[in-house]
Amino acid sequence: MKIVIIKYNAGNIESVNNALQRLGVKAEITGDHEKIKTADKVIFPGVGEASTTMAYLKKEGLDSLIPELKQPVLGICLGLQLMCSYSEENDTTCLGIFDEQVKRFVPEPGMEFVTKVPHMGWNNITNLKSEIFDSSLEQQFVYFVHSYYAAVGEHTAAVCKYINPFSAALHRDNFYATQFHPEKSGTVGARILENFLKI
Amino acid sequence: MKEQGLSEYHQYYFKNKLPPLWGGLGRGFMLAKRIIPCLDIKDGQTVKGINFINIQNVGDPVELGALYAEQGADELVFLDITATHEGRKTFVELVRRIAREINIPFTVGGGISELKDADALLSAGADKISINSSAVRNPKLIDDLAKNFGSQFVVLAIDARGENDYWTVTVNGGRIPTDKELFSWAEEGESRGAGEILFTSMNHDGTKNGFANKELAKMADMLRIPIIASGGAGNMDHFVDVFTEGKADAGLAASIFHYKEIAIPDLKNYLRGKGIVVR
């Protein structure tokens, strides 16, 4: 099985590679269009800011390549947000794979003492759908670090709540995405990556 | 736990007339309180620690860290206390091994005084870095790190000692007082872009009499970033207290874990029984 991790100007890419290696899986980190197109599985990770990373994807022509991919694709964290249609983070038009808007968390008045932004730490996921999850993962804790979120919508594959409910995961056709970091989420995260590799 | 599922944790909030938690009284939808073991590293080896039956080499930070991760630690902190240049290189290599082997987030600290130090650790796979004395000497370092790598990457560690309710920030393991005051320095750190504060009370550190809950709670009311409490953990109730009275987001400890006085699974169960949300 050929697994490609898309290389672009975002952090955290090596962490995903490390997680795959712990599962005994070899992946190639590359921005090469041909290699991405012919891979069996594609992972689109990332930690960073939406507008600069979108600008880079455009420059490299990856903005038109990624939405056309036919094999299973897994977006992680910023990857999920870039796969939506729009992000409030610096008013950025994104890839439009999921018809969702990415918004910033706004703490509700009077609740400031528990609503720190970014949402950082371990929170649990519910209402799980799609092949990357299984029944053993319902209510399990996974690791999040983010200030922006996609609301709950028709493509929501997992729900988490912080200030308000949001999409902890999205799924449409061959596209999967998690707002949390499976590569940092202990054995639960490893299982989610394994499930993705089995699709 | 009382009837109707009203936990001590929630009772505390009601008693103090605080707004209800957004998670309601149910178990779901709560950001978990974090338990963080801290490992001191010298020349690539852990400094403290007695024999663990489960692992071969307790001196190997990777093996010990992996064991803690398996037991349910939520994050790990690795502090390099090596002073030599060779030791620094060993540490970066160690961070690379940690990133390969460990499947939870980890913070590294010690000897980071320039962007390039942080960059080397980030490239090696660290999720966060902590800065302490270097930020006191050069506060702009916080801004630079946050701008270049994001606030989520920057933990401001503050060691402070209190006397008559005035808390002086100290450096060099609490040995040298500075002209900074704890709460104003924490606020300044937040406004410069620190993503978290790791506060160690030198009054409490090593006493095993509990955390500096009064100061922690005051800091939590002032800041909008998470606070990691450090110094004073001696038993499981101290963690209950630090998450309720101290309003901390995470509790850090070293020796009680290294000397197996508290096992992380037992601690998690105990906290859960007290209605505190843990993973």
Q: Which two tokens stand for residue A53?
A: 């990373």
Which percentage of chain B shows pLDDT scores above 90?
69
pLDDT at B107: 97
CB contact under 8 A, B122 and A22: no
CA distance B216 to B222: 10
Mean pLDDT of B142-165: 93
pLDDT at B53: 54
The ipTM of this complex is 0.91
Of A21, A126, A184, the CB nearest to B104: A184
3-class secondary structure, B217: helix
CB contact under 8 A, B103 and A186: yes
Of B78, B149, B125, B121, nearest to A15 (Cα)?
A: B125
Q: How far is A121 from chain B (nearest CA, A)?
A: 7
Segment B87-93 long-range contacts (CB within 8 Å, at least 24 positions apart): B87/B42, B87/B43, B87/B44, B90/B43, B90/B44, B91/B41, B91/B44, B92/B120, B92/B121, B92/B124, B93/B44, B93/B124
| Chain B partners within 8 Å of A53 (Cβ) | none
Per the rule left: phi > 0, alpha: psi between -120 and 50, beta: everything else, B247 is left
Name the residue ranges covered by the structural domains of chain A: 3-198
Q: What is the pTM of this model?
A: 0.90
Residues of A labelled catalytic? 77, 181, 183
Q: How many CB atoms lie within 10 A of CB B222?
A: 13
Across chain B, mean pLDDT equals 87
Question: For residue B110, what are the contacts with CB-CB under 8 A and spacing of at least 6?
Answer: B41, B79, B80, B81, B82, B91
pLDDT at B95: 95
Task: List Cα–Cα distances, B214 to A87, A101, B166, in angstroms.
Answer: 40, 41, 13
Query: Range with the lowest mean pLDDT among A185-189, B2-6, B119-123, B142-146?
Result: B2-6
| Chain B partners within 8 Å of A111 (Cβ) | 19, 22
H/E segment holding residue A159: strand A156-162
- The answer to whether A120 touches A144, Cβ cutoff 8 Å, is yes
CB contact under 8 A, B31 and A145: no
CB contact under 8 A, A141 and B100: no
pLDDT at B27: 36
A2 touches chain B (CB under 8 A): no
Q: Which residue on chain A is closest to B75 by alpha carbon?
A: A121
Q: Which residue on chain B is closest to A124 by alpha carbon?
A: B29
Of A69, A44, A50, nearest to A149 (Cα)?
A: A50
CATH number of A3-198: 3.40.50.880
CA distance B153 to B240: 27
| Chain B partners within 8 Å of A143 (Cβ) | 104-105
CB contact under 8 A, B99 and A119: no
pLDDT at B4: 43
B195 touches chain A (CB under 8 A): yes
pLDDT at B86: 73
pLDDT at B237 over 90: yes
CB contact under 8 A, B152 and A187: no
A126 touches chain B (CB under 8 A): yes
The phi, psi pair for B41, rounded to 5°, reads -120, 130
Q: Which residues pair with A126 in a beta bridge?
A: A159
The phi, psi pair for B234, rounded to 5°, reads -130, -30
Spans of chain A below 70 pLDDT: 108-115
- The answer to whether A47 touches A77, Cβ cutoff 8 Å, is yes
Q: Give residues 132 to 151 of B whose Cβ lies within 8 Å of A.
A: 149-151
Which candidate in A23, A120, A145, A179 is best for mutational testing of the B interface (most B CBs within 10 A)? A120
Q: How far is B72 from chain A (nearest CA, A)?
A: 9
CB contact under 8 A, A112 and B224: yes
- The answer to whether A166 touches A159, Cβ cutoff 8 Å, is yes
CB contact under 8 A, B152 and A141: no
Of B169, B160, B228, B229, nearest to B195 (Cα)?
A: B228
- Cis preceding linkage at A45, omega within 30: no
Residues of B labelled catalytic? 40, 159
Question: For residue B97, what are the contacts with CB-CB under 8 A and spacing of at least 6?
Answer: B62
Class level of CATH domain B34-273: alpha beta
CA distance B163 to B170: 13
pLDDT of B241-251, one tens digit each? Answer: 999 999 999 99
In which residue are the tokens 């996974």 written? A142
pLDDT at B82: 77
| Chain B partners within 8 Å of A187 (Cβ) | 103
Q: How many CB pairs under 8 A join A and B?
A: 99
CB contact under 8 A, B28 and A113: no
In which residue are the tokens 């991790």 written? A5
